[in-house]
Chain A
């Protein structure tokens, strides 16, 4: 076999290749996925992250088998699966609203997949117990789903999807229905569950904090395309384009002109004349226009008489608990957000109306060439 026809990559648990999905008529319908390719590795916690309507759930449903592809191919551990119905795929899903069968007990829910796979009764009973123990719900086996709290239902959904020991577990925004505290606890639990079971997790969310805390790798999606794939550090510190920089965390985007390119570092001229060193996200050519992204926490406010990159006036000070956020108005009218840690820098806070200088921590500015 040769590489030209596209052998699936052996290392990938799931390989998605050039997948397009159009809902409705092929020419006029809504394009949910516009040629997505990605490899998800075995034993990886992989997250599809993006705003609603970006195609992440459609991609997950294609892997699960609930949607067909318009074109493109999907491989599971090297086997092509896009024509297999969902019940023939060794993949299980944790649904957003859990979809626990309301007319069955917790144990019956968890046993459902095992029975369908024709496991012997004793084996089913053993595996149900194991799965419920795994999510610490052993004592609730006889209850109905409606008698459980949201968090407990969530665990049952997990146990039910894990019990058949799928090769890949798909999770469709499973934490979105939980309240904040529970959500935070479940993040830790999900990650350790993944490490414990060694199953590949594909996790869909629109919540970047969720994505950053749990994932081995993240695919940021927008408008049916993958914008960037990388670790949490990659996408936060080295965003590939404006969308990723803007979507992940908070950032300041400044219009610049590229002055001078020098091996891995680019000198950028700001609107008001200041010169800033930034790492480029791709090929940058001198003389072109672009944007520099700087995270608010990488900016430092100094008194106006000290040397600084930019000058401005504090417009507003917002107290955020752990942080203070200064909104600083620049001479050209644009606004910059600067974040300082409340506990350490209380004495350095400036009040609205104060003139300030703004410095950038070296090595933290990123030039986005798109």
Chain B
């Protein structure tokens, strides 16, 4: 080459920011690394430590927490280990509850999102506005409101009795149904918003093309629309499933002691002298692993989509 090779970047606008990129990113990086990533790693370490009786830990390596989680060695710890169902059952129940909540949210959320996305621009904004409000309302307050509504002496039961439709109140609070309802109600907007965004970008000429090629409306939905908006559906499912799995408020307030879920189990371990920090840390690690697997599968799916889309 004839002249001197000039440095790359040069005067382009991006180079001004590129020069200070690390300074721009540093505050967020450092904050999250120290107060989020660090603590999570520390928690992982804690799960391998020994319990101290006053609620703290002894810095001695131990697998006791995981052993306690997975295996039952009898009252005195001298029987041959067999699978310990107490905790696994809690996780399994949480997993099922979260899955059912996700499916319910999808069943109601998809038609709702689709319906909103196909409104004319003016009314669409009103619907979207209405869906957004609950997302901004304090989750605790929403859960308490639900509890108020469905409890034995709550408006639903009182009304049904006063209309003579019931003799005695239906028991809804402290049932699996209540927890399910609570999860569904808590995270429904998380399902609607990403699906709405996907349907809004959907090109309805594709539906017309399908109809032109003799597909009826449900075939079109199944073969053309759903595959096209699948990324939105998957995003919605992740956004509902992950918080449902570790939910604390809905199971605690609506489920009561019998319908223990992961969140309550973990919380128990950090309360007062009865707590067991290493065990709580181990429980949290198991939950985190489940969630990260879900997020990882999602990310891989997204990457595959991106590749497929060119």
Contacts and interface: CB of A to CB of B under 8 A. Distances in A.
Asked whether the complex places CB atoms of A and B closer than 8 A, the reply is yes
Interface of A: 18, 20, 26, 35, 65-73, 82-86
Given A20-B3, A71-B4, 9 more contacts: A18-B2, A18-B3, A65-B11, A67-B12, A68-B7, A68-B9, A69-B6, A70-B6, A85-B11
B138 interface: no
A73 B5 CA distance: 11
B306 interface: no
Contacts, number: 41
Interface majority SS (helix, strand, loop, mixed), chain B: loop
A73 B4 CA distance: 9
Contacts of A85: 11
B2 A35 contact: yes
A256 to B, nearest CB: 37
Nearest to B13: A66
A86 B11 contact: yes
Interface majority SS (helix, strand, loop, mixed), chain A: loop
Given A20-B1, A71-B1, A66 B11 contact: yes
A20 B7 contact: no
Interface residues of B, number: 13
A85 B2 CA distance: 22
A72 B3 contact: yes
Contacts of A82: 6
Q: Which of B3, B4, B11 has the most CB of A within 10 A?
A: B11
Contact of A26 (B2, B5, B9): B5
Nearest to B16: A85
Contacts of A67: 10-12
A68 B6 contact: yes
Interface in B1-39: 1-13
Nearest to A61: B12
A26 B12 CA distance: 18
Nearest to B15: A68
B30 to A, nearest CB: 31
Contact of B12 (A35, A66, A73, A84): A66
Contacts of B9: 68
A264 B11 CA distance: 49
Contacts of B10: 67-68
A73 B2 CA distance: 10
Contacts of A18: 2-3
A79 to B, nearest CB: 16
24 contacts: A20-B3, A26-B1, A26-B5, A35-B2, A65-B11, A66-B11, A66-B12, A66-B13, A67-B10, A68-B6, A68-B7, A68-B8, A68-B9, A69-B3, A70-B1, A70-B6, A71-B4, A71-B5, A71-B6, A72-B2, A72-B3, A73-B3, A83-B6, A85-B11
A18 B11 CA distance: 20
A201 B92 CA distance: 73
B13 to A, nearest CB: 8
Contacts of A35: 2
A26 B3 CA distance: 13
A179 B173 CA distance: 67
The 4 closest A-B pairs by CB, nearest first: A68-B10, A71-B3, A71-B1, A85-B11
